Structure formats: C-alpha cells, structure tokens
Amino acid sequence: MELVTVVEAESTSRVLRELAVLGLFALAAYLVLSLASHDAGRAPNLGGPIGASLAQTFESIFGYPAYVLAALMACLARLVWAEVPVRQLVRETAGGAILLFDGAADDRRRACADSRVCAD
C-alpha cells in the first residue's frame, strides 16, 4: 500500500513540474510576442488586447529590459525542469530580479540623460 502511494505522489509531482515548465515557456513566448508587436507599432497586437496591455505595462515599468524578463522566465523553466532544489530556485530568481531592476534603472537613467527631462 505504501509503495502505491509513493508512486502516485511521485507521478503527480512530475506532472505538476511539467505543467509549470510548459506554462513558464508559454508565458515567456507570449510576452516576447506581445512586446515585439507593441514595439513594432502593430495596431492589433498579435497577443490580442491582453497582450497589448501586458506589453504596455511591462514596457512602462521596465522599458526594454522587459525582454530580459521573458528570458529569465525561460531560464527559470529550465531550472524547474532540471529539478533543482527550491533553495537554488529562490536564489536564481532573486538574482534575476536584481538583474531586471538594475536594467530597468539603467534604461530609465539613459532615457533621462538623452531627453534632459525627467518627470520622476
């Protein structure tokens, strides 16, 4: 009886892990598609109305480093697929967040230096 429970728990864990990986890859691809469509000025965004608002929100918060967010999500999916320990996932995610916010701050600093006008 115990062996059956262990096998069922292991297979459930594997299914959840695979769904998380597929979801992260799909979300990363959708974000890139929406951001690229937004940057190209495509009138109906290829991501639809949700993709358009998602792209506008992420570009207003992060600027061009929003593309880095999609790459970081793909890297996180790879780590989940490799079954790395949760502690390492947290560490990698924190490092990615630092990279993302540093890139956003640098993008905003460059925009302010180019325009000589900063609202914030």
**Full pLDDT tens readout for the chain, 120 residues:** 565 555 566 777 888 999 999 999 999 999 999 999 999 998 899 999 999 999 999 998 888 889 999 999 999 999 999 999 999 999 999 999 999 888 888 877 877 776 665 655
Residue numbers of the domain that contains 92: 2-115
Per the listing, tokens 């949700």 go with 50
CA 57 from chain center: how many Å? 13
Q: What is the pLDDT of residue 11?
A: 72
CB count within 10 Å of CB 66 equals 25
Q: Is residue 41 part of a domain?
A: yes
Give me the amino acid identity at 10.
Answer: E
Q: Is residue 32 part of a domain?
A: yes
27 within 8 A of 66, measured Cβ to Cβ: no
If one counts the domains in the chain, the total is 1
Q: What is the pLDDT of residue 27?
A: 96
Q: Is residue 68 part of a domain?
A: yes
Q: Is residue 16 part of a domain?
A: yes
Biggest alpha carbon distance in the chain?
71
88 within 8 A of 43, measured Cβ to Cβ: no
Q: Is residue 120 part of a domain?
A: no
Q: Is residue 96 part of a domain?
A: yes
Q: Is residue 101 part of a domain?
A: yes
| Calpha distance 17→70 (Å, rounded) | 19
